[in-house]
Amino acid sequence: MTRSSPRPRPENAAPAPLAVQWLDGDQHGAQVLATARHLLQVEEFAKQALPPALAQVCKAARIERQQITLTVPSAAYASKLRQLAPRIARLLADNGWNLNEIIVKVQARPWRDETKPAPREVIPLDDSALAAFDELRRKLRPGPLANAVGRLLEHHRR
Protein backbone atom coordinates (compact mmCIF):
# COMPACT_ATOMS: atom_id res chain seq x y z
CA MET A 1 0.00 0.00 0.00
CA THR A 2 2.61 2.54 1.02
CA ARG A 3 6.27 2.62 1.73
CA SER A 4 7.32 0.18 4.39
CA SER A 5 9.51 2.41 6.54
CA PRO A 6 9.41 6.08 7.41
CA ARG A 7 12.27 8.35 6.45
CA PRO A 8 15.18 8.24 8.90
CA ARG A 9 15.42 11.21 11.19
CA PRO A 10 18.26 13.59 10.24
CA GLU A 11 21.10 13.78 12.74
CA ASN A 12 20.48 17.47 13.44
CA ALA A 13 16.71 17.05 13.95
CA ALA A 14 15.23 18.13 17.26
CA PRO A 15 14.26 15.32 19.66
CA ALA A 16 10.67 14.15 19.43
CA PRO A 17 8.22 15.79 21.84
CA LEU A 18 7.18 13.72 24.84
CA ALA A 19 3.73 12.96 23.36
CA VAL A 20 5.29 11.58 20.17
CA GLN A 21 7.70 9.45 22.22
CA TRP A 22 4.79 8.11 24.25
CA LEU A 23 2.78 7.31 21.09
CA ASP A 24 5.79 5.60 19.57
CA GLY A 25 6.14 3.37 22.65
CA ASP A 26 2.49 2.23 22.67
CA GLN A 27 1.45 -0.41 20.10
CA HIS A 28 -1.80 1.31 19.10
CA GLY A 29 -0.18 4.74 19.32
CA ALA A 30 2.67 3.60 17.11
CA GLN A 31 0.14 2.58 14.43
CA VAL A 32 -1.56 5.98 14.67
CA LEU A 33 1.79 7.72 14.47
CA ALA A 34 2.85 5.63 11.47
CA THR A 35 -0.42 6.46 9.69
CA ALA A 36 0.06 10.17 10.40
CA ARG A 37 3.61 10.02 9.07
CA HIS A 38 2.49 8.23 5.90
CA LEU A 39 -0.24 10.82 5.35
CA LEU A 40 2.25 13.65 5.75
CA GLN A 41 4.75 12.01 3.40
CA VAL A 42 2.23 11.33 0.65
CA GLU A 43 0.81 14.85 1.11
CA GLU A 44 4.26 16.35 0.51
CA PHE A 45 4.71 14.33 -2.68
CA ALA A 46 1.23 15.21 -3.92
CA LYS A 47 1.83 18.91 -3.32
CA GLN A 48 4.75 18.84 -5.76
CA ALA A 49 2.25 18.40 -8.60
CA LEU A 50 0.02 21.28 -7.51
CA PRO A 51 0.07 25.03 -8.08
CA PRO A 52 1.18 26.89 -4.92
CA ALA A 53 -2.26 28.18 -3.92
CA LEU A 54 -3.81 24.72 -4.20
CA ALA A 55 -0.86 23.02 -2.50
CA GLN A 56 -1.30 25.33 0.48
CA VAL A 57 -4.88 24.18 1.18
CA CYS A 58 -4.74 20.55 0.06
CA LYS A 59 -4.52 17.96 2.85
CA ALA A 60 -4.19 14.18 2.77
CA ALA A 61 -7.01 12.77 4.86
CA ARG A 62 -6.94 9.02 4.35
CA ILE A 63 -5.05 6.20 2.72
CA GLU A 64 -6.98 2.99 2.24
CA ARG A 65 -6.05 0.12 -0.05
CA GLN A 66 -4.74 1.85 -3.17
CA GLN A 67 -6.75 5.04 -2.67
CA ILE A 68 -5.82 8.36 -1.17
CA THR A 69 -8.40 10.91 -0.10
CA LEU A 70 -7.36 14.53 -0.47
CA THR A 71 -9.42 17.33 1.07
CA VAL A 72 -9.74 20.96 0.05
CA PRO A 73 -11.89 23.77 1.49
CA SER A 74 -14.08 24.57 -1.54
CA ALA A 75 -15.62 23.19 -4.70
CA ALA A 76 -13.41 25.39 -6.88
CA TYR A 77 -10.27 23.84 -5.40
CA ALA A 78 -11.84 20.38 -5.70
CA SER A 79 -12.51 20.91 -9.40
CA LYS A 80 -8.91 21.89 -10.09
CA LEU A 81 -7.61 19.03 -7.92
CA ARG A 82 -9.70 16.51 -9.88
CA GLN A 83 -8.14 17.83 -13.10
CA LEU A 84 -4.67 17.31 -11.65
CA ALA A 85 -5.41 13.87 -10.15
CA PRO A 86 -3.72 11.88 -12.97
CA ARG A 87 -0.56 13.95 -12.58
CA ILE A 88 -0.58 13.41 -8.81
CA ALA A 89 -1.12 9.65 -9.22
CA ARG A 90 1.76 9.46 -11.69
CA LEU A 91 4.06 11.42 -9.35
CA LEU A 92 3.15 9.20 -6.41
CA ALA A 93 3.73 6.03 -8.48
CA ASP A 94 7.10 7.36 -9.68
CA ASN A 95 8.10 7.85 -6.04
CA GLY A 96 7.19 4.35 -4.91
CA TRP A 97 3.66 4.85 -3.60
CA ASN A 98 1.21 2.17 -4.65
CA LEU A 99 -1.74 4.56 -4.82
CA ASN A 100 -3.64 4.64 -8.07
CA GLU A 101 -6.93 6.32 -7.17
CA ILE A 102 -7.35 9.82 -5.83
CA ILE A 103 -10.58 10.75 -4.10
CA VAL A 104 -11.25 14.45 -3.69
CA LYS A 105 -13.52 15.73 -0.94
CA VAL A 106 -14.59 19.21 -0.01
CA GLN A 107 -14.19 19.71 3.70
CA ALA A 108 -14.77 23.27 4.79
CA ARG A 109 -11.86 24.33 6.96
CA PRO A 110 -10.79 20.85 8.12
CA TRP A 111 -7.65 22.30 9.62
CA ARG A 112 -6.48 25.43 11.31
CA ASP A 113 -5.27 28.00 8.82
CA GLU A 114 -1.53 28.27 9.35
CA THR A 115 -1.13 31.30 7.16
CA LYS A 116 -2.54 34.47 8.58
CA PRO A 117 -3.30 37.32 6.22
CA ALA A 118 -0.99 40.29 6.45
CA PRO A 119 -2.28 42.94 8.83
CA ARG A 120 -4.27 45.58 7.03
CA GLU A 121 -2.27 48.74 6.56
CA VAL A 122 -4.47 51.76 7.15
CA ILE A 123 -3.18 55.11 6.03
CA PRO A 124 -5.39 57.95 7.24
CA LEU A 125 -6.39 60.58 4.72
CA ASP A 126 -4.53 63.85 5.15
CA ASP A 127 -6.15 67.31 5.10
CA SER A 128 -5.66 67.81 1.35
CA ALA A 129 -7.31 64.45 0.58
CA LEU A 130 -10.23 65.26 2.90
CA ALA A 131 -10.62 68.65 1.20
CA ALA A 132 -10.65 66.97 -2.23
CA PHE A 133 -13.36 64.49 -1.13
CA ASP A 134 -15.35 67.33 0.43
CA GLU A 135 -15.23 69.25 -2.86
CA LEU A 136 -16.24 66.09 -4.75
CA ARG A 137 -19.21 65.55 -2.43
CA ARG A 138 -20.44 69.13 -3.06
CA LYS A 139 -20.24 68.63 -6.85
CA LEU A 140 -22.13 65.29 -6.81
CA ARG A 141 -25.86 65.02 -7.27
CA PRO A 142 -27.67 63.64 -4.24
CA GLY A 143 -27.68 59.85 -4.32
CA PRO A 144 -25.81 56.73 -3.26
CA LEU A 145 -22.39 57.96 -4.43
CA ALA A 146 -22.73 61.30 -2.63
CA ASN A 147 -23.86 59.42 0.49
CA ALA A 148 -20.86 57.09 0.30
CA VAL A 149 -18.43 60.00 -0.03
CA GLY A 150 -20.15 61.66 2.95
CA ARG A 151 -19.73 58.52 5.07
CA LEU A 152 -16.08 58.30 4.05
CA LEU A 153 -15.54 61.89 5.19
CA GLU A 154 -17.35 61.30 8.50
CA HIS A 155 -15.29 58.19 9.13
CA HIS A 156 -11.94 59.89 8.49
CA ARG A 157 -12.76 63.04 10.46
CA ARG A 158 -13.44 61.12 13.70
Phi-psi region at 155: left, alpha or beta (left = phi > 0; alpha = psi -120 to 50): alpha
Q: What is the rounded distance in angstroms from the CA atom of residue 56 to the CA atom of residue 110? A: 13
CA 59 to chain centre: 8
Would you tell me how many other CB atoms lie within 10 Å of the CB of residue 77? Answer: 20
Q: What integer pLDDT is reported at residue 115 of this predicted model? A: 64
Q: What's this model's pTM, rounded to 2 decimal places?
A: 0.54
In 3D, which of 104, 101, 103, 105 has the Cα closest to residue 90? 101
Q: What integer pLDDT is reported at residue 23 of this predicted model? A: 63
Q: What is the rounded distance in angstroms from the CA atom of residue 44 to the CA atom of residue 59? A: 9
Q: Each residue's pLDDT tens digit in the chain (158 positions)? A: 444 444 444 455 555 566 666 666 666 667 777 888 888 888 888 888 889 888 888 888 888 888 889 999 989 999 999 999 999 888 888 888 888 888 999 987 645 556 666 677 778 888 999 999 999 999 999 999 999 999 999 988 88
Q: What integer pLDDT is reported at residue 19 of this predicted model? A: 65
Q: Count the residues in the chain.
A: 158
